[in-house]
Amino acid sequence: MRGQRTAAWSPAAGLLAITVGVLIASNHVATAQTLGSLETPATPLVLKAQGSFFIGGERVEQTRTEVGDLGPEGHITIHQMYVRYMVPQDENGRLPVVMVHGATLTGKSWETTPDGRMGWDEYFVRRGHPVYAPDQVGRGRSGFNQAVFNNVRAGSVPAASQAPWLRFSDESVWPNFRFGPKTGEAYPDTQFPVSAAGELAKQAVPDMSFGMPQPNPTLRALSDLATQLQGAVLMGHSQSGRFPLDAALLNPGAARGLVLVEPGACPATYTAEQIATLATVPILIVFGDHRDTPTGLPTLPSWQDRFEACQALIGRLTAAGGRAEMFDPPARGIRGNSHMIMQDRNHLQIADVILQWIDERVGRRPAGTN
Amino acid sequence: MRGQRTAAWSPAAGLLAITVGVLIASNHVATAQTLGSLETPATPLVLKAQGSFFIGGERVEQTRTEVGDLGPEGHITIHQMYVRYMVPQDENGRLPVVMVHGATLTGKSWETTPDGRMGWDEYFVRRGHPVYAPDQVGRGRSGFNQAVFNNVRAGSVPAASQAPWLRFSDESVWPNFRFGPKTGEAYPDTQFPVSAAGELAKQAVPDMSFGMPQPNPTLRALSDLATQLQGAVLMGHSQSGRFPLDAALLNPGAARGLVLVEPGACPATYTAEQIATLATVPILIVFGDHRDTPTGLPTLPSWQDRFEACQALIGRLTAAGGRAEMFDPPARGIRGNSHMIMQDRNHLQIADVILQWIDERVGRRPAGTN
């Protein structure tokens, strides 16, 4: 299924030279991916359907200042969730997989990797699963509520009314995402394509998580999406690693399986009743390697702490009769995986384990249903 | 090529009922699209490649406050442009088409329409053209520079340092996008699927145009994209309607054809030298109907004014030996098209005219090249 490394548009030999010529125009230009680095798979992708839509959203009335003063006051829609989807020609009852990205990122996380390889979105489609990749509410193509910023600008509310926009600097990404102990210094066995780390940096967008309403509208949107799909596997990553759990609690019947990829939290605060509900759903938790790397973010738990919290959650779920499992690649001799495991060089090896788990533990739709 | 109206995942009969049950949970929930309204084409889409990447970007150093105070100060990347692409299995030398969206919108403009029909992105691919759909720098998956907002919040710079975020309220969209004279009152012949106007509202995101560096980094990114593609047709819409002109001036050899869809401006300020350059490139300008609708935005020109400015530009280009043309649907008896012409009910009829123009005026790559 994996293809040769050629450009999507079969570039002539002169492409790289042209590209470099463009890119050195400014010292400040970030390290750039050439389009020639984008892989073309060996076989075509055959889709029954693809496109995008929104889930949820709230129609609110805002003042002329709040909408930016160009047009009149009136109604806008906020807190909708953008979802891009691809449905393979041959799904054969395989369940849709909803892939949710982490902090300061968007649905791009699951698309083409920083070094130009096929993303998990396409790979899961090629393995027969419809894939739905949202942008979390408040980010990317889902937009956010701009009213407070325009009110601060107008002086009608204090500057502290607006929450901080969160970004991770490259200096925090390298240890926190466990490419290596510090920026530019990779673990010898790292699976992350560190020469393309500059392309990962471009995937980052400002994150308004601290200014979102609670509960985060993304949770309801994920549950509603799974409900409309009449059952789906919910996959979260990092910040959204716990979202599949929280969405499943809103409609456990629609959450047919949960995959928590490097979850930022496995809460110890779920009640016995919530644990009993979550114990009805197959759950897989996936972590990478080098979890003892000091993250440089002392206000947050270490990745080893998070791993152990997830083991504790698995213990509670198992005690309640649940089917929760840990996929710990180092324990299987697979070393060097990072926090961005879906972009690591061995990302299809990791995906294959998840796909096998879905096949064996979650299964397909019954014959005769969709 | 158009298919039956069934859901992408072949919903069981109970889907609509389930969906309505979810959606009436709150009075504030926006009018919602059911997933069952998404069309599945009659034939599969066969792609040689698909994915996404970034063009451009600037690596800058920011303070701990500027990056949101969770992590340490350091370097982040800003002003990169996200691009999603699809390459058809059979391109046969047809040129790539780069589709750029308008104000307060994202690349979603070209994807599935608000009422669930195939977007122009897929249609152009099905007609053999590779399609590249970016999010303008400063919006959507391209992100923006959050530093000034965090500095305002910290009190280190005045509140007025942050530019306003622009949104269009539904009350300004209806007359300005010419669905009808006011919200909820559609022209009898409107081609816009007004019953799905609430879904268009969800496509809107806050627009940081007033806070962008000048020249807008999107222009260089579009030119660099066309250069890396070794030639492309550049298509802009509304706010970005003039972007193909400005990008072509940066590298006219790479801009093989320009399509200006309902451009917000056809500047009269291009120099004779610039006009001579633009006269080397085939240009098509497309407008919809009802251009005399009062927009309710008195600080901006009317759409009839913009149409006439574009006719004047065509006159200058023609006098300089250029090949610029106006596609004015009402003059061909096609009535009721809106500003969101790529989403109108007759959007494929409009697309067919543009595709024919590309075929006849721009042509394909010479045989033996890509």
Provide the CATH number for the domain around residue B217: 3.40.50.1820
Residue A9 has pLDDT above 70, yes or no: no
Domain count along chain A: 2
Are B7 and B125 members of one domain?
no
Structure tokens belonging to residue B5: 């109206």
A171·B73 Cβ contact <8 A: yes
Are B147 and B2 members of one domain?
no
Are B189 and B329 members of one domain?
yes
Are B177 and B59 members of one domain?
yes
Which residue from A minimizes the CA distance to B7?
A: A49
* Inter-chain CB pairs, A–B, below 8 Å: 363
Q: How far is B260 from chain A (nearest CA, A)?
A: 23
pTM: predicted TM-score of the whole model, two decimal places: 0.92
How far apart CA B350 and CA B289 sit, in angstroms, is 12
Asked if B71 and A265 touch (Cβ cutoff 8 Å), the reply is: no
Q: Which residue has the higher pLDDT, A367 or A172?
A: A172
Q: What is the ipTM of this complex?
A: 0.92
Residue A177 domain flag: yes
Stated as kind and residue range, the H or E segment containing A226 is: helix A217-228
At residue A70, the pLDDT reads 83
Which residue from B minimizes the CA distance to A163?
A: B153
Are B162 and B218 members of one domain?
yes
Q: What is the mean pLDDT of residues B104-111?
A: 98
Residue A204 has pLDDT above 90, yes or no: yes
Q: How far is A314 from chain B (nearest CA, A)?
A: 29
How far apart CA B315 and CA B337 sit, in angstroms, is 24
Residue B126 domain flag: yes
Residues of A whose CB is below 8 A from B19:
227-228
Residue B3 has pLDDT above 90, yes or no: no
How many CA atoms lie within 13 Å of B52's alpha carbon, on the beta-carbon side?
Answer: 26
How far apart CA A1 and CA A245 sit, in angstroms, is 32
Question: A12 lies in which domain range?
Answer: 1-43
At residue A29, the pLDDT reads 52
Which residue's structure tokens are 């627009």? B207
Are B162 and B256 members of one domain?
yes
Are B234 and B92 members of one domain?
yes
Are A346 and A249 members of one domain?
yes
Burial of A283 (0-12, 13-18, 19+ CB in 10 A): buried
Residue B188 domain flag: yes
Residue B22 domain flag: yes
Are B140 and B90 members of one domain?
yes
At residue A180, the pLDDT reads 96
Residue A161 has pLDDT above 50, yes or no: yes
**Identity of the residue in A111, A141, A369 whose CB atom sits nearest the CB atom of B140:** A141
**Identity of the residue in B30, B122, B164 whose CB atom sits nearest the CB atom of A68:** B164
Residue A367 domain flag: no
Q: How far is A330 from chain B (nearest CA, A)?
A: 28
Residue A173 domain flag: yes
**Identity of the residue in B39, B48, B155 whose CB atom sits nearest the CB atom of A40:** B48
A142·B297 Cβ contact <8 A: no
Find the range with the poorest average confidence among A287-296, A328-337, B296-305, B361-370: B361-370
Residue B2 has pLDDT above 70, yes or no: no
A155·B150 Cβ contact <8 A: no
Residue B369 domain flag: no
SS (H, E, C) B118-156: CCHHHHHHHCCCCEEEECCCCCHHHCCCCHHHHHHHHCC
Q: What is the mean pLDDT of residues B281-305?
A: 92
B41·A49 Cβ contact <8 A: yes
Residues of B whose CB is below 8 A from A198:
57, 59, 77
pLDDT band at A256 (very low <50, low <70, confident <90, very high): very high
Q: Which residue has the higher pLDDT, B21 or A246?
A: A246
How far apart CA A16 and CA A22 sit, in angstroms, is 10
Are A5 and A107 members of one domain?
no
**Identity of the residue in B46, B67, B296 whose CB atom sits nearest the CB atom of A44:** B46
Are B3 and B55 members of one domain?
no
Q: How far is B336 from chain A (nearest CA, A)?
A: 24
Residue B370 domain flag: no
At residue A35, the pLDDT reads 87
Residue A10 has pLDDT above 80, yes or no: no
Are A1 and A130 members of one domain?
no
Residues of B whose CB is below 8 A from A15:
228, 230
B10·A370 Cβ contact <8 A: yes
B165·A18 Cβ contact <8 A: no
At residue B300, the pLDDT reads 87
Residues of A whose CB is below 8 A from B87:
8-9, 40
